Amino acid sequence: MAFLELKRVTKSFGGLVANHNISFSVEKGELVGLIGPNGAGKTTLFNCISGVYPVTSGRIFFDGEDITDLKAHEVARKGLARTFQVYVASGDLTVLENVMVGCFMHTRSRARALDQAREILKDLRIDDLAEALVHELPVASQKQVTMATAIGTRPELLLLDEVAAGLNPNEIEEIMESIRHVHENLSMTVMLIEHVMDLVMNVSHRIVVLDYGKKIAEGRPDAISKDPAVIKAYLGERYVRDHAGEWE
């Protein structure tokens, strides 16, 4: 069985079907992108995987265990963490204190959580922000902090929801390097939702594409960039033409 496996997952909100019979798997050690137009059901699917939403039907397996009916905190304790599109800082906590919140998932010792949080910030090279208040930081720095807080829970699978949204090209490059570092140096399996195609195409081993709540394609970045259904639903002819050959 794959590290993460979705079997015919459907999520409905009344008469609205946000995810319809979605099946795919993620192997341990992979970095997988999830793309599609706004409203395609990407964040809803992350919410189902992480236990935020109960699924309407289908099953979700993580590390050989059925986690379909678990609550979010139970899923987190299994080793699956996620970030959200909009990061809401916890009151007037500092960056260090925010990351400590994640570390308390596995320890009751404040001293141990403090040491772990400092190590994470140093590892992500944002330790200079440790005493800053998160809500006073620019968006790019807040994105780094939300990743650090999720890493504090010591996940084996990290779900990243649009961590590059709203960033300029230099900031996107920095967050791209952070994602690669988390994947390669911290040995985490990563799945990310992203609209910044330069990022998702360059870091992903495979890409899953949703449209109107259904999976319409799955494959390597070079194959996805040439898939007629993906071009029609999301990428567009001009984007593909302008970036021809980049991911081969």
Residue 92: its pLDDT value, please?
83
Q: How far from 128 is each of 49, 123, 131, 229, CA to CA, in Å? A: 34, 11, 8, 45
104-124 mean pLDDT: 95
The pLDDT tens digits of the residues spanning 137-181 come to 998 999 999 999 999 999 999 999 999 988 999 999 999 999 999
207-235 mean pLDDT: 94
26-51 mean pLDDT: 97
Question: pTM of the predicted model, to two decimals?
Answer: 0.92
Proportion of the chain above pLDDT 90, given as a percent? 83
Phi, psi dihedrals of residue 241, rounded to the nearest 5°: -65, -40
Residue 28: its pLDDT value, please?
97
Domain ranges of the chain: 1-79+155-248, 85-154
Residue 85: its pLDDT value, please?
79
Mean pLDDT over all residues of the chain? 92
What's the CATH superfamily of 1-79+155-248?
A: P-loop containing nucleotide triphosphate hydrolases (3.40.50.300)
Question: Residue 247: pLDDT above 60?
Answer: no
Residue 223: its pLDDT value, please?
94
Tokens of 145: 């902090």
Q: How far apart are CA 132 and CA 120, in angstroms?
A: 16
